[in-house]
Amino acid sequence: MAAASALTLLLAIPAAAGTPTPGAPSIGDPYYPTYGNGGYRVSHYDLRLKYQPKTDELRGTATILASATQDLSRFDLDFSLDVSSVLVNGRPAAFTETPAAHKLQITPSAPLAKGSDATVVVRYSGVPSKVVVSGINGWLRTPDGAVAADEPEAAWWWFPSNDHPLDKATYDVSVEVPKGTQAVSNGVLTDQRDTVDGTRYSWRQDRPQATYLATLAVGRFDITTGRTGDGIPVFNAYSKDLGDNAAAARASVERSAEIIDWESGYFGKYPFNALGGYVPNVKTHYALETQTRPFYSPAQFARGSNASVVVHELAHQWFGDDVSLERWRDIWLNEGFATYAQWLWSDYQGEGTTQQLADYVYAQHPANDPFWKVKPGDPGAAHQFDDAVYDRGAAAIQALRTTVGDKAFFQLLKAWTKEHAYGNGDFADFQGLAEKISGKPLARLFQTWLFTPERPAAAAAARAGL
């Protein structure tokens, strides 16, 4: 008997098992050292939620499919609402929360062996608008609902996650809301049904998605649906309270299918199987490339239609969403290219060539303008979304294009999105691919345009065709 149980014990422990250790409470991004976690990777988030617009109460269950990347004694998720229970592989796990630090530390009843799968079930509730984390609140309340859409983080206020673009996963998001109210998220609407006291909307994102690109919008929306030329379902949602901006919003976002077709010509086949956009009644001024279904603020349509912002957010579907950052320092790989797409659109519309727009950026900002102090290739966390990352970033791409020639340049755009599809890429990967395709050394060009805190000399600009 004694020998048999000793044998059972031996079999239960993998031969090469080390001593289980805690996963790091960081994924190791120098810009945001507290974001994301080590010791595991997530493959899928299943969120089953209920939201009450009147009180801003959100409650529900997150079921997270993960896999241990080390022998793991405990691990963290990024989260800031109130957790009532955690199960790991069906068994209650101990947990401690530090909402202000957006961490939920979980100690499973038994360590997880490296390579093993874990199902983590987190039950939670909270009033997201009341939760301030490091001075910010990424949950936008509207008169009839709320929106989760911000960058680099939005997830803390609505679901527990490994909050970093390095750990992409698929999603099922199902949200019950009061009758007459809709819940919009990423991907395809797989189900809509009445419940005892409301309506439940179920959404599926079946392609890998970074946490900050997961979105939830609850409110009273006018919905439009259709299909792209390739048969991809289109779903757009417009707040019923857009007032004077309603028509301009539609005249812009309804062009998503046309814009995606046009962008596919430059960037390759559209990587996702759903498309759309939503315009909630928020007071913010930014847009966000939430996957398959960008978020737009009404303010963007206050001066009339704005197809250009749609071009920008939809270009991100390739640059940012399909090919995601490995670290936030490389934000130029997102914003530079999304802005360059707007320049290509301008050229296409006969409203100024990409070269004219690059010249304009150069002329608009004299050498002593602090604009040139921001390095688009390494702007610092506080300057990630500064104009320089967008406009100087796009000028850098024009300089690249004139240096390598149109043939290599357009080949590079498609090769980049193809090589890193549904994954990640970093600046070194990009430079390597650009040099391989063009056969030209490009270190100096990038140094000048992306990594020098001053205006490129007129000579360098001229060499680059500026």
Task: Give the binding site for ligand ARG (CB under 6 A).
Answer: 150-151, 286-289, 312-313, 335, 385
Closest CB to Zn ion among residues 325, 338? 338
SS3 state of residue 157:
helix
Closest CB to ligand ARG among residues 70, 342? 342
287 binds, among ligand ARG, Zn ion, none (CB under 5 to 8 A by kind): ligand ARG
Nearest Cα to 121, choosing from 60, 195, 30? 60
Q: Specify whether the CB–CB gap between 290 and 151 falls below 8 A.
A: no
Q: Roughly what angle, to the nearest 10 degrees, separates helices 332-349 and 427-438?
A: 50
Instruction: Give min distance, CB of 313 to ligand ARG, in A.
Output: 6
Q: Which amino acid, 363?
A: A
391 binds, among Zn ion, ligand ARG, none (CB under 5 to 8 A by kind): none
* C-alpha to C-alpha distance for 178 and 180, rounded to whole angstroms: 6
Closest CB to Zn ion among residues 175, 331? 331
Q: Quote the tokens at residue 75.
A: 């691990």
155 binds, among ligand ARG, Zn ion, none (CB under 5 to 8 A by kind): none
Instruction: State the residues that interact with Zn ion by CB under 5 A.
Output: 335, 338
Instruction: Give min distance, CB of 334 to ligand ARG, in A.
Output: 6
Closest CB to ligand ARG among residues 162, 339? 339
Residue of minimal CB distance from Zn ion?
A: 338
Closest CB to Zn ion among residues 163, 335? 335
> Phi first, then psi: what are they for 11, rounded to 5°?
-65, -30
Alpha-carbon distances, residue 223 vs 73, 183, 268, 357, 373 (angstroms): 47, 11, 28, 36, 44
Instruction: Give min distance, CB of 335 to Zn ion, in A.
Output: 5
Instruction: Give min distance, CB of 348 to Zn ion, in A.
Output: 19
Nearest Cα to 255, choosing from 286, 234, 233? 234
At a CB cut-off of 8 Å and minimum separation 6, what does 121 contact?
61, 62, 63, 64, 85, 86, 87, 88
Chain centroid offset of residue 35 CA: 14
385 binds, among ligand ARG, Zn ion, none (CB under 5 to 8 A by kind): ligand ARG
176 binds, among ligand ARG, Zn ion, none (CB under 5 to 8 A by kind): none
Closest CB to ligand ARG among residues 124, 301? 301
150 binds, among ligand ARG, Zn ion, none (CB under 5 to 8 A by kind): ligand ARG
286 binds, among Zn ion, ligand ARG, none (CB under 5 to 8 A by kind): ligand ARG
Instruction: Give min distance, CB of 312 to Zn ion, in A.
Output: 6
Closest CB to Zn ion among residues 144, 335? 335
Instruction: Give min distance, CB of 151 to ligand ARG, in A.
Output: 4
Instruction: Give min distance, CB of 258 to ligand ARG, in A.
Output: 19
- In order, the DSSP letters of 73-117 are EEEEEE--SEEEEEEETTEE-EEEEEGGGTEEEEE-SSPBPTT-E
Q: Specify whether the CB–CB gap between 167 and 36 falls below 8 A.
A: yes
